[in-house]
Amino acid sequence: MNESPTDVFSDLAELARTLGHAHRLKLLSHIAQGERSVERLAETCELSVANASQHLQHLRRAGYVQTRRDGKRVLYRLGEGPIGNVLAALRQLADFNRQAIRELLADSRARQDRLEAMSRLELIERLQEHSVTLLDVRPAEEFASGHLPGAINIPLADLERRLGELPAQQEIVAYCRGPWCVLSVEAVAALRERGFKARRLDSGFPDWQAAGLRVEVD
Q: Which residues are catalytically annotated?
A: 176
Task: Report the chain's C-alpha Rg in angstroms.
Answer: 24
Could you give the angle at the alpha carbon of 152 between the alpha carbons of 149 and 155, nearest 5°? 125
Contact 174, 135 (CB under 8 A): yes
Phi-psi region of 76 (alpha: psi -120 to 50; beta: other; left: phi over 0): beta
User: DSSP per residue over 51-74, as a string?
Assistant: HHHHHHHHHHHTTSEEEEEETTEE
Alpha-carbon distance 162 to 143, whole Å?
17
Alpha-carbon distance 174 to 153, whole Å?
10
Q: How many CA atoms lie within 13 A of 163 on its CB side?
A: 15
23-40 burial string, b = 16+ CB within 10 Å, else e?
Answer: bbbbbbeebeeeebbbee
State the Cα torsion 83-84-89-90 to the nearest 10°. Answer: 80
